[in-house]
Amino acid sequence: MRVTVNKIKEMKQKQEKIAMLTAYDYPTAKLVDEAGVPLILVGDSLGMVVLGYESTIPVTMDEMIHHTKAVVRGTKQAMIIGDMPFMTYHTSASDALYNAARFLQEAGAQAIKLEGGVVVAETVKRIVDCGIPVMGHIGLTPQSVHQLGGHRVQGKTPEAAERQLKDAIALEQAGAFAIVLETMPAPLSKLITQKVSIPTIGIGAGPDCDGQVQVISDLLGLFTDFVPKHAKQYAKLADAMRTGIANYASEVKSGTFPTAEHGSTMDESLLKDLARS
């Protein structure tokens, strides 16, 4: 049975820290699920770490649905959360509801995530009222990176901190079951975590959130263009992959791979007639 919204809320009540990771394909999702991670986000970060875009903004609904389907097929326990792409929930509540429903109907996800606070609260309420669990996302919101002036820490002034708190409260009142707090000062994320009854999931927001989320490509050292400040590399798989690929290419070139053990054989007498033809 998959992790539910109620289970995640209970984890906050019990002061049990919540781990969340991104995944974008079947084999990765399978490994994350087998490791016991309760929340898997199919993040629009796939635009950068999988598809090679410069930001998350070009990511489309069809791309998100495609990858979410693969993640769902690879998992049995984790709650799968689909990340609503740029401008798929801003134009109208009906558009937002339609796109959110696609994640559940077509892709098999159990919840969706969207960015923003007060400005999207009515949309969140509409989606939740129709039976779709919503995770909020405030602080540094990557889809608004141009408006924010880059990837900067959010909420550092009293006025900015007050806006972030109001955003969190608005999302809670709208029915969101959890909120991602991205790139904000640790004291502010701690205050927000204390002020709302729903779980907070931090990324670059300090240790006092109810949980943490990381991009799997950063955590495993697979994405080598840059390493975000908030990321900790638990492995360096890119180095291992480079070594393995180089060794393979070298052995093919030298003729040492493949050997007889990597293939199959047959009675060569059966080929005599073919050889004479």
Say whether both 137 and 262 belong to one domain. Answer: no
CB contact at 8 A, 80 and 103: no
Say whether both 252 and 220 belong to one domain. Answer: no
| pLDDT band of 263, cuts 50, 70, 90 | very high
Say whether both 153 and 80 belong to one domain. Answer: yes
Say whether both 9 and 116 belong to one domain. Answer: yes
Lowest mean pLDDT among 34-43, 66-75, 179-188, 259-268: 259-268
Q: Total domain count for the chain?
A: 2
Which residues share a beta bridge with 22?
41
Q: Which of 54, 182, 251, 261 is catalytic?
A: 182
Residue ranges of E strands in the chain: 18-22, 39-42, 79-83, 111-113, 134-139, 178-182, 200-203, 211-214
Q: What average pLDDT does this structure show over 196-201?
A: 98
Say whether both 36 and 109 belong to one domain. Answer: yes
* pLDDT at residue 272, rounded to an integer: 86
| pLDDT band of 151, cuts 50, 70, 90 | low
Say whether both 229 and 269 belong to one domain. Answer: no
Say whether both 132 and 258 belong to one domain. Answer: no
Structural domain range at position 245: 240-276
- The 10s digit of each residue's pLDDT in 89-103 is 999 999 999 999 999
* pLDDT at residue 212, rounded to an integer: 98
User: Could you confirm whether 182 is annotated as catalytic?
Assistant: yes
CATH code for the domain of 100: 3.20.20.60
Q: What average pLDDT does this structure show over 125-137?
A: 98
Say whether both 117 and 192 belong to one domain. Answer: yes
Say whether both 82 and 22 belong to one domain. Answer: yes
Say whether both 138 and 264 belong to one domain. Answer: no
pLDDT over threshold 80, residue 118: yes
With b meaning 16 or more CB within 10 Å and e meaning fewer, what string describes 4-40? ebeebbebbeeeeebebbbbbbbebbbbbbeeebbbb
Local structure of 99: helix, strand or coil: helix
| pLDDT band of 223, cuts 50, 70, 90 | confident
Q: Considering the chain, what is the average pLDDT of its residues?
A: 95
* Amino acid making up residue 171: L
| pLDDT band of 277, cuts 50, 70, 90 | confident
268/163: higher pLDDT: 163
- The 10s digit of each residue's pLDDT in 38-80 is 999 999 999 999 999 999 999 999 999 999 999 999 999 999 9
Say whether both 110 and 227 belong to one domain. Answer: yes
Please give the DSSP secondary-structure letter assigned to residue 262.
G
* pLDDT at residue 274, rounded to an integer: 87
User: Which run of H or E residues covers position 188?
Assistant: helix 186-195
Say whether both 255 and 232 belong to one domain. Answer: no
* pLDDT at residue 15, rounded to an integer: 97
Cα–Cα distance measured from residue 62 to residue 77, given in angstroms and rounded to the nearest whole number = 25
Question: Cα–Cα distances in Å, from 126 out to 27, 91, 225?
Answer: 34, 14, 39
pLDDT over threshold 70, residue 148: no
